[in-house]
Each structure stands twice: as structure tokens, then as C-alpha cells.
Amino acid sequence: MRMKIASVIVDVPTKQTDKTFDYLIPDQWIDTIQPGMRVVVPFGPRKIQGFVTGIKIHSEFQKLREIVEPMDLEPVLNHELLELGNWLTEKTLCFKIFAFQVMLPAALKAKYEKSVELANGVKTSDLPGQLQTFFKSNSKINWEEALKSGIVPLLQREASKGHLEVLYEVKEKMKKKQLKFVSPLLSITELQDELDRLPARAEKQKEVLNFFVQNYKPVELRQLLVDLSISSATVKALVEKNFLIEQDREVYRDPYENRTFERTSPLPLTDSQQKAIQPILNSIEQKQHEVFLLYGVTGSGKTEVYLQSIREVIEKGQEAIVLVPEIALTPQMVNRFKGRFGDLVAVLHSGLSSGEKYDEWRKIQRKEVKVVVGARSAIFAPFENLGIIIIDEEHETSYKQEEMPRYHARDVAIERAKTYNCPVVLGSATPSLESFARAQKKVYQLLSLPSRMNNQSLPSVEIIDMREELRSGNRSMFSSKLFDMLKERIERKEQSVLFLNKRGHSSFVMCRDCGYVVNCPNCDISLTFHSKAGQMKCHYCGYESFVPKHCPECSSEYIRYFGTGTQKVEEELGKILPEARVIRMDVDTTGRKGAHERLLKDFQDGKADILLGTQMIAKGLDFPNITLVGVLSADTMLHLPDFRSSEKTFQLLTQVSGRAGRHELPGEVIIQTYTPEHYSVELAGTQDYDLFYSKEMMVRKSHHYPPFYYLSLITVSHEQLMAAVATTEKITAYIRSRVSDETVVLGPAASPIPRINNRYRYQCLIKYKREPDLPMTLKTILDQYQKDTASGLQVSIDINPFILM
Ligand code: ADP
Ligand code: ZN
Ligand code: ZN
């Protein structure tokens, strides 16, 4: 019996199509098409992309349509990732097609052109005769041509031997990077003979042949021309004589190609590092899945523990995934991994072009690398022999994806690690409450690095009450203490970092007479002032407008923007400390590629006294000359409608403080705040995570929040207020009827941002400890309301939400 039927998930994200469709595999593809490949299938009148999830003998359906063609020669999703896709679908209630797509680099989702080419180092003569003719005149052949000529099965066989390779070229911009190479077509002795035979006046040609006798290998043409100072005509002449051959060769777009990485070797571990690493090594050794929480202050040597664990994994022939928050994926961070493991490291982050990302992904797919360091989506790296997964700064909320599939990288990591029987290491100086609680309950194994390397003391932290400053007549955004200390650093030629907590600190426009705040007409949220353009902008819908000259409410002229953007701080610094050289890092100054890195480099090279920035400077900075960190206002995040706001404030302040005094020079930290009595500010001041943990746990317990309860959030939106309310009411009632008494169902309530882009938003929040049937209930709701999408109703469900707005 031949396996003639393929089950396919098609690229149509709707409720009705969220299942496999059976297609007939045309005879010529029967041995070609495998699970995990992308295929083109007819769907209604169209041809669309799909993922083959299985191959079988029978279908319960009678009339099946045929697959048009395969899009891959080898599966892009292996068995494990296909299974993971099913798991993702179930856990996050997303469409299957989204689960598969999220695991692949964007280049594989886009429109593309396909071709097949000889793998590097493979000669035409290595191929079977029938194919040789195709590759004789061309180093690659177009996929369309291959289909027409009926040679795809042959190509596939050669591809599995590693002789050929399929290229996906996105039509617009995604091209594989090609360079012209020249290689000898004759053996060394033959070259030598020809060299002797060439007339003496062919001096340049002789030089080239001599070069290849000395260096018998392909050389990049441009480089050759420069090195031998010859013209391309010289090379051409030799190519025409069939001595040499010119070929296009793929080179990876390597974002780090112009950089050399100083190789580092493992450091002898300290006693506490040794104690921390041993259980991890045991888990690797015994192939026993375990989740470790590596809890250690910044500078306590966590990264060294990661590096040495990875080394063990590589030595066993296995692979490692390291997740780092996007904003911490600094060149410094990359250096530490590339420095230790060199070319075995691939890096995936959003700063790469889609071509670069695709090339890095291919290195993983082809097993050319052993380690991937990347942001959230790197958790789907297509390794097949994982030995460890590390999540640094595990408390970071950016590990949760806020669109379908709404997954948390930590959950995916644990799921994959279970499959491979390998450890997961979660590292943090300020673990999330969820993770620390699990460690307390021994679900995770707690490993601690209690002190900084060389027992450097943590920087001393001083909290400044800005209300007092105001009372004593200081209206500036700098307390007198911070001002004095900044001045002192400049005199001592030391560096300072000034941190502005941008989130929740948008500069809004307000009337000083009546307090009127300019809101977006489409969304119930204040507009943010951008001084560069002199405009106000809505961050949710993109609405823009100029600042009114008079208050629309009371006609007062005193309508101004408030809040301290980085620009404004820079201006003020210019006034009060004109001698200070300032580097500003925010979205405006780091927009262009490489800008982020250049600014940091300048700061490292001592080209500035003060580094001023937002969140993005909070992580990863490790410069010896930083002896002062100033937080301009600590409490801007505290007042967000988010039960994690205290936790986030504490984490951020602790993180920022950790930037000072990491080396010989002692560090000092100044935290300015309007609420010095708040425990998250106060305890960040004493860097007391344990106390913060127990206080915050009490708050969470009494308010029925995680980690005591799980949350699920349903958000309903509609252009008509009443429709949104009525649907949310129905959903809330339905849920109440299906859950236990212990479960809290809140709603219907207006969302904290009650309107976005003219759509009204209502929500229902479920807090529960144990509701085994809830996923089913939620799925029923989604199924039910999916049908109403046409009428403008949107229902979205976020399980374990991180943003409650
Ligand atoms: P963390 O990741 O916890 O912030 P790091 O691993 O970056 O800590 O270590 C802080 C500093 O201490 C780094 O400069 C690192 O090179 C150094 N370090 C780490 N482990 C050792 C060790 N065993 N011996 C000497 N120096 C070490
Ligand atoms: Zn007014
Ligand atoms: Zn808006």
C-alpha cells in the first residue's frame, strides 16, 4: 500500500479551516513529500501554502484534490516541532497555522522564488548524468524549470546526499549573498605545466597561475584582483583557456563579520559557582529533565555558569539554546558567547535583516552551529539534539508574545526540554514571583550565587524624596544630591548613567490652568508629545496632531507638555552642566541599524561623561568606569493598572542599580522618587529581594493574583459599545456557569484602555486555582464567536496574560 494521502494545514487562519485537509499526493511526489514540508495546494479557486502534518494510506473522504507541488526538498519542521505546534495550539488556543508559522524565520513565510544549486564544494561531475546537463551551463536551476523537466525526485536524492541545496529567495529583497570566486580547474602539476608553457610576456597570467600553485583553493575574485594588482581581463583569459573557473558562491550574511572575537577560555569556578553548576552538569550527564532557577545578583557569575554548562553540552555532541531579552542582546552579550564558542554560535534578534535571520536559521538547520543566542522566538531553533535551554533574565515580560500564538518562551522551553530530557536553566537577579514560588515549592531546583565576583560590594543606594526637593524650592528634575554627584564624576573623569523610565512616562500635553489633558479622539488614552516633530501622537492607533495653541476646554494659553522625555533631560543637562558630554540613547537616536552599538562604543571609549537613556540601557552594560547611576523618577511605572507593577518597578530599579561599580571603582546609585515609602522602591534601595518577595506574595495572595491563582483574560471589542458590553455579559455568565465556586470571574468591565481605534473594549478576567475544563470552555467561546467576526465582533483570549490592558 502506498502512502498517497497527505494531511495538510492550510494558510487560512479561520475557525472553519483550523483542521487538516486531505490531499492526494501525485505519483511523482510520493517519495518526496514528507511531514514538515511546505506544499502548494488548491483551496477553493486559489493555490495556497500549507504544511504537511502527516502522510497516510486512506482518507475518509472520496474526492480529493491533488497537491500542486512541494515547496521544500527537506522538511522545514521536524517531527518534534510539528508536535510542539500542536501543543502550542492547545495551550494558547491559537490557529494551527499560526503555531507553525511562528516557528520559522520570516523569510520562509514571505513570497519567494526558488532554485536549486550545487552545494559549496560539490562539482557537477559528482551528480548523476541526467542532472549534469542541467548544471553544466548554470550553477543553479530555477524551481519552475526543475518542475517542468520532471527532475525533482532526482534533485531530492542529491539534496539528501548534501550535493544540492534548495534556495528560497524572496522576490523583493531577500537574496542569498553571492560573491564571485575563482578556482583552479586543473591539478597542481597541470597548472605548473601550463605555467611553464606560457610565454614570458604573459607575465600577469603567470603570476596568477603561480598564485594558485601556491594556494590551491577557491579565492574570491575581488580579493585576488587586489592582492595581485591585476585586472579582471587577466583572470578572464585564464578562464577562457579552461585553466581556471569563475563561480558564484553563497556567503552567509554575517552581521558580525567585520568583528573579531577575542577567544576566551573557561575560568576556574568559584566555590559557589561550582556548587551551582554541579546539579546542572548532572542533569546533562544523566539526561534528566529538570528546571533550575539560578538566582544570583548581577555580577555574581551566572553567565560563566551558562558558558561552562554549554561547553559540557557541546562536548557531548549536543546543542544549546540561550534566550536573552531583546534589549539585552548587546554586542557585549554576543561577544561573551562568540568569544567562547566562536563560529559555533548563531545569533537571532530583531536587529538583523530578514536575510541575515534566514541565514542564521539555516546554519542551525544544517547543524553548522551548536549554540543559538537569541530573543524570544529563538526558542524554536530547529535543533534536533538539544542538551540545554538557558533563559537569562527570566523575569523579563518580553518572553511573552502578545499576539497569536500568545506563548511564553519559558513554557515552550520546558516543553521542549522534556522531549529531549535536558535541563532548563532560568537565570535572574530578581526572579519572577511565579518562578521563585515554584522554586520554593521544589517544582524548580533553586541554585544560588549569593555574592558578586571578588566579593565586590553592591553599590550603595540612596533614595531621594523629590517632594522634599520641591518643598525646598528645587523645581529641577535633578535633586541637589544627584546634581552634585554628577558634577563630581565629571571632575574625577568617571562616568555616569542616567536612567529615565519611559514606560508610563509619556510626555503628555496638559493645560496648566484647568488640567485638561489632550486625548486621542479614537482611543481613550492621552497623546504622547514628540518634540522633534512638534506633534502629538497616539501610540495605539497612530493618530497625529499639532499641539493646540489654546486649551480646548478653557481657552487658556498655558497648555504645555509635561513629563520628562530623554530629550528634555538632555536639554536641561545642557543648561545646568554645560561641560558634560552626553550620549542619549532612546528610540530616536538608535533607530538606524548599528546606532545602538556605536553609541555604546563611544561611551565605552570615554567619549562622553553621561549616558542618558530609557529601558534599553538598563541591561547588559558592563563598563569599568561607571561609578554613578541615577534614576530620575522611580515611580512612573508604579501607577499602571497592572498587578505586576510593583514587581516590575523593583526589578527595574535593582537591574539599573547593578550597572554601577561592577569593577574596581565602587559604585553609587541615586533613586529619585515621589513615593519613597512604597515597598518596591524602598526594598530596591536595600536590594532585598527576599523581603520584597515575601511582601509581594502577601499582596498577591490577598488579591487572588498569580502565583496563587492562574489568570485568563477575555477581551471583547466592537465598534458599538452596546454590542461589546452585551457579548461580554453573555460570555461572563457562561463562564460563571461552568467554573467552581473557588474561581473568581470578574466582569464584564471596561478594559483599562476602554477604546482603541474607535473600538470599544470590554473584558472578563478569570482567576482560578484548578479548572481542568476551562480550556475547553474557552475554546467553545472562541468557536462560537469566531462566526461573528464578519459583524465586527472580536473576541480574544489570553491565557496567563502579561498585559491586562
Ligand atoms: P552575571 O551573569 O551574574 O551578571 P558574570 O558571569 O557576567 O555575572 O560575571 C561577572 C564578572 O565576573 C564578569 O566580568 C566575569 O568575567 C567575571 N567572572 C565570572 N566568573 C568568574 C570566575 N570563576 N573567576 C573570575 N572571574 C569570573
Ligand atoms: Zn484649560
Ligand atoms: Zn489613538
Higher pLDDT: 568 or 285? It is 285
Residue 600 has pLDDT above 90, yes or no: no
Buried b (16+ CB within 10 A) or exposed e, 132-166: eebbeeeebbebeebeeeebbebbbbbbeeebbbb
Q: What is the mean pLDDT of residues 49-78?
A: 90
pLDDT at 539: 72
Among residues 717, 777, 699, 785, the alpha carbon closest in space to that of 743 is found at 777
Q: State whether 665 and 751 are in the same domain.
A: no
Dist. CA 213–CA 416, nearest whole Å: 51
Band (505; pLDDT cuts 50, 70, 90): very low
Among residues 107, 110, 98, the alpha carbon closest in space to that of 14 is found at 98
Q: Give domain status of residue 705, yes or no.
A: no
Q: What is the mean pLDDT of residues 341-368?
A: 89
At residue 789, what is the residue type? T
At residue 573, what is the residue type? L
Among residues 503, 537, 538, the alpha carbon closest in space to that of 523 is found at 538
For ligand 1, pick from 453, 626, 654, 687 the residue to mutate: most ligand atoms within 8 Å of CB. Answer: 453
Q: Establish whether residue 273 lines the binding site of ligand 1, counting it when its CB lies within 6 angstroms of any ligand atom.
A: yes
Instruction: Give the list of residues 6+ apart from residue 38 with CB closer than 8 angstroms, or none.
Output: 49, 50, 51, 52, 70, 71, 72, 76, 108
pLDDT at 657: 80
pLDDT at 803: 79
Phi, then psi, of 397 in degrees rounded to 5: -75, -15
Q: State whether 573 and 673 are in the same domain.
A: yes
| pLDDT tens per residue across span 315-337 | 999 999 999 988 777 777 888 99
Assigned C-alpha cell, 692: 520584597
The alpha carbon of 546 and the centre of ligand 3 are apart by a number of angstroms equal to 14
Torsion angle in degrees (nearest 10) through CA of 558, 637, 634, 583: -80
Band (502; pLDDT cuts 50, 70, 90): low
Nearest CA to ligand 1 atom 5: 301
Q: Do 673 and 635 contact (CB within 8 A), yes or no?
A: yes
pLDDT at 253: 66
Buried b (16+ CB within 10 A) or exposed e, 512-535: eeeebebbbebbbbbbbbbeeeee
Percent over 90 (pLDDT), the chain? 45
At residue 255, what is the residue type? P
Q: Establish whether residue 658 lines the binding site of ligand 1, counting it when its CB lies within 6 angstroms of any ligand atom.
A: no
The alpha carbon of 514 and the centre of ligand 2 are apart by a number of angstroms equal to 4
Assigned C-alpha cell, 346: 548563531
Q: Give domain status of residue 265, yes or no.
A: no
Higher pLDDT: 225 or 392? It is 392
Ligand 1, residue 392: give the atom nearest the CA. 2
Q: State whether 616 and 482 are in the same domain.
A: yes
Buried b (16+ CB within 10 A) or exposed e, 603-629: bbeeebbbbbbbbbbbbbbbbebbbbb
Q: What is the mean pLDDT of residues 496-523?
A: 74
The alpha carbon of 441 and the centre of ligand 1 are apart by a number of angstroms equal to 29
Q: Report the side by side order of strands in the sheet with 371-374.
A: 345-348, 371-374, 319-323, 386-391, 423-428, 290-296, 445-449
pLDDT at 662: 65
Q: Report the side by side order of strands in the sheet with 544-546.
A: 528-530, 535-537, 544-546
pLDDT at 504: 39
Q: What is the mean pLDDT of residues 123-128?
A: 84
Residues 39-42: contacts with CB under 8 Å, at least 24 apart: 39/6, 39/8, 39/67, 39/68, 39/69, 39/70, 39/71, 40/67, 40/68, 40/69, 40/70, 40/71, 41/8, 41/10, 41/65, 41/67, 41/68, 42/66, 42/68
**CA angle (25, 30, 31) in 5-degree steps:** 150
Only one residue has cell 535572574, namely: 428
Domain boundary (454, 469, 486) is at: 454
At residue 133, what is the residue type? T
Dist. CA 803–CA 805, nearest whole Å: 6
Higher pLDDT: 23 or 111? It is 23
Q: State whether 649 and 525 are in the same domain.
A: no
Q: Do 180 and 248 contact (CB within 8 A), yes or no?
A: yes
Residue 172 has pLDDT above 50, yes or no: no
What are the start-end ranges of the E strands in 632-743? 668-673, 710-718
Q: Do 630 and 498 contact (CB within 8 A), yes or no?
A: yes
Residue 511 has pLDDT above 80, yes or no: no
Span between the terminal Cα atoms of the chain, in Å: 55
Which ligand approaches the C-alpha of residue 513 most closely?
A: 2
Q: State whether 359 and 337 are in the same domain.
A: yes
pLDDT at 259: 65
> Which of 115-119, 326-330, 635-639 tops mean pLDDT?
115-119
> Chain centroid to CA 323: how far?
8
Residue 147 has pLDDT above 60, yes or no: yes
Q: Establish whether residue 308 lines the binding site of ligand 1, counting it when its CB lies within 6 angstroms of any ligand atom.
A: no
Phi, then psi, of 446 in degrees rounded to 5: -85, 130
Higher pLDDT: 658 or 729? It is 729
Q: Establish whether residue 300 lines the binding site of ligand 1, counting it when its CB lies within 6 angstroms of any ligand atom.
A: yes
pLDDT at 173: 36
Assigned C-alpha cell, 142: 530555477
Q: State whether 501 and 599 are in the same domain.
A: yes
Q: What is the mean pLDDT of residues 700-705?
A: 91
Is residue 764 annotated as involved in ligand binding?
no
| pLDDT tens per residue across span 378-395 | 999 999 999 999 999 999
- Tell me the pLDDT of the chain averaged across its residues: 87
Domain boundary (517, 542, 562) is at: 562
Band (53; pLDDT cuts 50, 70, 90): very high
Ligand 1, residue 305: give the atom nearest the CA. 6
Q: Give domain status of residue 223, yes or no.
A: yes
Q: Give domain status of residue 255, yes or no.
A: no
Residue 725, helix vs strand vs coil: helix
pLDDT at 639: 66
Q: Do 426 and 392 contact (CB within 8 A), yes or no?
A: no
What CATH number is given to the structural domain containing 320?
A: 3.40.50.300
Dist. CA 271–CA 542, nearest whole Å: 54
pLDDT at 23: 97
Low-confidence winner among 58-72, 445-459, 472-486 (lowest mean pLDDT) = 445-459
pLDDT at 170: 41
Assigned C-alpha cell, 477: 528634575
Structural domain of 83: 5-108
SS (H, E, C) 611-630: EEECHHHCCCCCCCCEEEEE
Q: State whether 436 and 303 are in the same domain.
A: yes
pTM: 0.80
Q: State whether 751 and 768 are in the same domain.
A: yes
Torsion angle in degrees (nearest 10) through CA of 56, 58, 61, 62: 130
Only one residue has cell 478576567, namely: 765
Q: Give domain status of residue 510, yes or no.
A: yes
Low-confidence winner among 145-149, 436-440, 538-542 (lowest mean pLDDT) = 538-542
Instruction: Give the list of residues 6+ apart from residue 698 with CB closer than 8 angstroms, or none.
Output: none
CA distances to 50, 303, 339, 345, 413 from 307, in Å: 39, 6, 10, 12, 18
Higher pLDDT: 602 or 424? It is 424
Q: State whether 594 and 651 are in the same domain.
A: yes
Residue 733 has pLDDT above 50, yes or no: yes
Is residue 554 annotated as involved in ligand binding?
yes
Dist. CA 755–CA 716, nearest whole Å: 11
pLDDT at 177: 65
Residue 496, helix vs strand vs coil: strand
Residue 641 has pLDDT above 70, yes or no: no
Only one residue has cell 564571485, namely: 180
Dist. CA 499–CA 684, nearest whole Å: 15
Strand pairing of 626-631 and 544-546?
unpaired
Q: Establish whether residue 154 lines the binding site of ligand 1, counting it when its CB lies within 6 angstroms of any ligand atom.
A: no
pLDDT at 117: 83
Residue 805, helix vs strand vs coil: coil
pLDDT at 596: 75
The alpha carbon of 521 and the centre of ligand 2 are apart by a number of angstroms equal to 17
DSSP letter at 483 equals H
Residue 707, helix vs strand vs coil: coil
Q: State whether 292 and 352 are in the same domain.
A: yes
| Overall domain count for the chain | 7
What CATH number is given to the structural domain containing 73?
A: 3.40.1440.60
What are the start-end ranges of the E strands in 46-149? 46-56, 69-70, 112-118, 140-142
Q: Establish whether residue 448 lines the binding site of ligand 1, counting it when its CB lies within 6 angstroms of any ligand atom.
A: no
Q: State whether 303 and 397 are in the same domain.
A: yes
| pLDDT tens per residue across span 403-417 | 999 999 999 999 999
pLDDT at 391: 98
pLDDT at 308: 98
Radius of gyration of the chain from its Cα atoms, rounded to whole angstroms = 30
Domain boundary (250, 285, 308) is at: 250
Q: Give domain status of residue 266, yes or no.
A: no
Phi, then psi, of 630 in degrees rounded to 5: -115, 130
| pLDDT tens per residue across span 643-679 | 888 999 899 888 888 777 666 777 899 999 888 888 9
Q: What is the mean pLDDT of residues 236-265?
A: 78
Assigned C-alpha cell, 407: 506563548
Among residues 490, 496, 487, 457, the alpha carbon closest in space to that of 626 is found at 496
Is residue 94 annotated as involved in ligand binding?
no
Residue 359 has pLDDT above 50, yes or no: yes
Low-confidence winner among 256-260, 471-475, 509-513 (lowest mean pLDDT) = 256-260
The alpha carbon of 490 and the centre of ligand 1 are apart by a number of angstroms equal to 28
What are the start-end ranges of the E strands in 349-457? 371-374, 386-391, 423-428, 445-449
Length of the chain (residues) = 805
State the DSSP string of 560-592: EE-S--HHHHHHHHHHH-TT--EEEESTTTS-S
Helices 152-160 & 129-136 angle (0-180, nearest 10): 100
Q: State whether 621 and 514 are in the same domain.
A: no
The alpha carbon of 307 and the centre of ligand 1 are apart by a number of angstroms equal to 11
Q: Give domain status of residue 68, yes or no.
A: yes
Q: Give domain status of residue 622, yes or no.
A: yes
| pLDDT tens per residue across span 745-801 | 998 988 888 899 899 999 999 999 999 999 999 999 998 887 767 788 999 999 999
Residue 77 has pLDDT above 60, yes or no: yes
